[in-house]
Chain A
Amino acid sequence: MSGLLSSIGYQYWVLDALILIPVAGGAVALVGPEVSGKRTALVVTLLEFVVSLGLWWAFDPATAGMQFEVSHAWIPSWGVTYHVGVDGISLFLVLLTTLTMPLAVLGSYTYIKSYERPYYALLLVLTSGMLGVFIAQDLFVFYVFWEIMLIPMYFIIGVWGGERRLYAALKFFIYTFVGSLLMLVAILTIYLLVGQSTGRYSFEYQHLLNNIWLTGRWGIWLFGAFFLAFAIKVPMFPFHTWLPDAHVEAPTAGSVILAGILLKMGTYGFLRFALPLFPGVALSPAVSTAIVVLSVIGIIYGALVAMVQPDFKKLIAYSSVSHLGFVMLGIWALTLQSVQGAIVIMINHGISTGALFFLSGMIYERRHTRAIAAFGGIARVVPAFAAILTFVSLSSIGLPGTNGFIGEFLVLLGSFGTQPAATIVATTGIIFAAAYLLWAIQRILFNPLDQPENEKIPDLSVRELIVLAPLLACIVWIGVYPAPILRRTEASAQALVNQVRGPQRLPIVPGAPER
């Protein structure tokens, strides 16, 4: 397979193609006839998925560095290069994105009833933006993609969202914007510091990474700027307040993308940029303790708040805060297992929570309510829905044999060595997860069927089953046989751990005297 791929020069054009296909498709969807908007989008996202699938085989698991690299000069006078690449950390986030998008399109078929063409065009543009974030190897390019994807999401929430969509969209936009603008200042500062000390002004990530070693006040301020941008995106407690609003008000596909992919940008940012650029600051006892404590608070707090939500979608939203807390713990524990576990949870969360959001959207389309109290006993009415919801919930809880187990187990195992106390507290989060999800399932599916409106709900349609089937397959597959994923992430994760923990280089005192 990899021989075939390299015979068509796959590694040279794949990343460019992945960015360009959705943009071109978005233009076609926008100007094409109204009825074919969704079909165009489906074809384009499927094509995108097929193209990206080659990465699975063409990817060389033994290489820790970037693969499929492509580089074009963009703004030479500022040292900006359009440089993209994929390594073991970003590979699965790219694949997760390309897998989620066709499902998101298909899942929107009946949900979106107005202005279909711009909706699907925005989804496609969003695809490019998200992929760009995961593959950018130049901080300018990274920043551009990071911000660009705000716009389609802002419109998707604001135009096609629920009742409080305007508030939720604005809140989502402003929160992200605040964080990212400070990151912009930090990126420019790093660029100038490295430029002054090496004489080469470039936003190339590798160049900056090789030449920066910051400690003291500079390091703390710059790390703080990156931290804020990523922590809001993750979202870490206490920066999470935009999340419930945005998730609940967004249309189903919007929630799926938000939870499945957008949140991962924050954790990915920590893994890719914040940790390697500022290891001295990130691993200093004060910072690292603070972040681990916040992660654990997020795990417990997210689970407890999820438990008391009357709205099923909001429950899933808060469960994200909890799951992402595990990812942050795994990243900051910084062992091979914990980092690999964090990557696996990122994938799992995209799959399981994505499926949960789809399911909540499907039941909402039938009953036009998401209140848990409005249901009860519907397992008899909609057996397929009930079976799938139960199964997905179990995977989200982390039942052995499902994907959820693998990730959380790896994180806890890997973290115990370096962060024992936090790991012990975090473990209780799994128990809480079982509590809130099983309780919710019980109230929705199994209590007595006491509301007459619920007696005639139609079960899942074939289209909806097609949307869910790939996610269910992934849940089982990762749960039973995660080795292919672990093998592909190992080299890059190990390199990251070594690099961050590695021998401390001597600090370069930035260009001018400390002020």
Chain B
Amino acid sequence: MEVTICIGSSCHLKGSREVIAILQRLIALNRLENRIELKGSFCMGECMNNGVCVCIDGERFSVTPLGTEEFFKTEIMKRLGK
């Protein structure tokens, strides 16, 4: 599974770095390194949303640093069938 996080100016200010750090930690905690690939991308054009743009296999979500753990559980884990 490919998870792309926007690191454009706007998302950077909304906390891309924190979102990436949290996702990296959760992936390591659940030993999913082999199944999830984290990637960065410049502006994906979703700057108007409140959170950082995160894209899972083509589907886009808006994620705030506070909501990252919830997002990981509901979206990423669900897709992996866990």
B partners with A:
no
A interface residues, Cβ below 8 angstroms from B: none
B interface residues, Cβ below 8 angstroms from A: none
